[in-house]
Amino acid sequence: MAFKLRSHTQGSLPLHNGGQGSFKKNPFSNIKTPLMVTDPVIDPTEKLKEKPTASEYEEIGRNVTTRRGEQGGVGGMFTDTKITERMDYDDEIPIATGGEQTTNIPEYLETLKKKYPGVPGSVLIKQGFIGPEFEDQLPLDYDQRNRLETSFVPDPAEPPMENPYKSYATGTQSAQDFGASGSYGYTLDPQRAMRIIERGRQTAGSGVQPVEGLGMSQQQGGTSGLVDRDRNNFQAEEQYVLGLKNPDDYKAGLDSGKGYVTEMIKQGRDALRQKYKGQENRAEYQTELDSLIEKGRNYFDSAKSGNFATPEMQERFAASHDTIYNKQQPKQLTRTGGRTGRAKQSSVTSDDTRFLDEYLNQ
């Protein structure tokens, strides 16, 4: 219990006259009867009890909640702990002793509040300082408060983005007055690949190229007999960047998997040579070899027609790379071009994963 009640020690604010065991009728039973006190006024030289500090409160309950938020621009989890505390009053509260009657009830009650700050009226009633009719003029319960403690735990730092690609296949093509030109290749440098992507984004947002002398615009490099402001049709440019997870598989899978067919024939021939090594009868070897060559010929024919010979080959090629950026014409870029006056279609950006933006800027 917060307050210690003293049942045998006499206090300085009595309620009765006479010695112990000779209590008179409680004067608080009649408000007209003056209170009897020996020291109704606090000695001005006496140091008053100060308001209890945090260490003088005892915890009686707590409630913990969590919430997500940011601190200093960093995301994480806040933990809010609401603590309910009650004042821990260590002084013993004596039993009131007898004395002279007081004629100033308000002053007497204020004296009690100052001498025993935070002591509930029920305690002072029990110790004989007041009657029940004065309980509501003093604290009804111990001094109590709520205190909030908040802690913050930042989210774990995300690991750097890993690059799943060993190299990049790149290509760019431009429509010009008399045809088209382009360049294609491979690079290990993601910055070089990024420059091609940036070029594609710029040209995708460019306006139609003006043609002098017509008062109009064409989406090509020029019109017959007129002067161009620019020989290139920026909107008709094409760019792509592919991320290669398996460069060898990607290169073998080009042209509908011709490299896979060549690889199949080579591996099959090596297996036959190993199978029939040291045997004098070569007829069976030649029969199986002819069958392998015929199978390869059929696979090549399929690749020439634009189809992978087997679903496994197509799946192998698809798994070898990802499209990072692809800005293409709706139809194949027209190479006949020239100063015909015919407007070429604008290119469209069909893929832009922005992978390199995130990877290079992390």
% the chain with pLDDT above 90: 40
Q: If you write DSSP's letter for every residue of 122-149 in order, what string do you get?
A: HHHHHTTSS-GGGGGGS-SS--EEEEEE
Average pLDDT over residues 50-57: 57
Under DSSP, the state recorded for 28 is G
Please report which confidence band the pLDDT of residue 127 belongs to, taking 50, 70 and 90 as the band edges: confident
Residue 82 has pLDDT above 90, yes or no: yes
Contact between residue 123 and residue 96 where contact means Cβ atoms under 8 Å apart: no
Using pLDDT thresholds of 50, 70 and 90, give the confidence band for residue 232: low
Is the per-residue pLDDT at 238 higher than 60?
Answer: yes
124-138, 281-295, 338-352: lowest mean pLDDT where? Answer: 338-352
Q: How far apart are CA 75 and CA 161, in angstroms?
A: 19
What sign for the dihedral angle of Cα 183, 184, 187, 191? positive
Q: Which of 258, 259, 297, 292 is nearest to 273 (CA)?
A: 292
How far apart (Å, rounded) are the C-alpha atoms in residues 277 and 307?
36
What pLDDT, on a 0 to 100 scale, did the predictor assign at position 290? 94
Q: What is the pTM of this model?
A: 0.54
Evaluate whether 3 touches 119 at the Cβ level (below 8 Å). Answer: yes
Q: How many CA atoms lie less than 13 Å away from 117 in the CB half-sphere?
A: 11
- Check pLDDT > 90 for residue 231: no
Report residue 90's pLDDT band, with 50, 70 and 90 as the boundaries: low
Dihedral (CA of 86, 91, 94, 96) sign = negative
Q: Is the pLDDT of residue 313 over 60?
A: yes
Provide the pLDDT for residue 152. Answer: 96
pLDDT, residue 25, reads 40
The whole-angstrom separation of Cα 308 and Cα 86 is 81
What is the tens place of the pLDDT at every residue in 251-308?
999 999 999 999 999 999 999 999 988 887 788 999 999 999 999 999 999 999 999 9
> What's the half-sphere exposure (Cβ side, CA atoms, 13 Å) at 147?
16
Instruction: Find how far residue 6's CA is from the centre of its chain.
Output: 60
DSSP string covering 38-84 = S--S--TTSPPPPPP-GGGEEEEEEEEEEEEEEETTEEEEEEEEEEE
What's the maximum distance between 2 C-alpha atoms anywhere in the chain? 139
Kind and range of the H or E run holding 6: strand 4-10
| Residues 17-36: tens digit of each pLDDT | 333 333 334 444 333 333 44
Please give the mean pLDDT across all residues of the chain. Answer: 77
345: pLDDT confidence band, cut at 50, 70 and 90? low
More confident of the two residues 204 and 27: 204
176 confidence band (pLDDT: 50, 70, 90) = low
pLDDT higher than 60, residue 230: no
Query: To 5 degrees, how large is the angle CA 347–CA 348–CA 350?
Result: 140
Question: What pLDDT score was predicted for residue 330?
Answer: 65
Q: How far is it, in rounded angstroms, from Cα 126 to Cα 199? A: 90
Per-residue model confidence (pLDDT) at position 207 = 60
Phi, psi dihedral angles at 358 (to 5 degrees): -70, -40
Neighbouring residues of 169: CB distance < 8 A, sequence distance ≥ 6 = 184, 185, 186, 240, 241, 242, 244, 250, 321
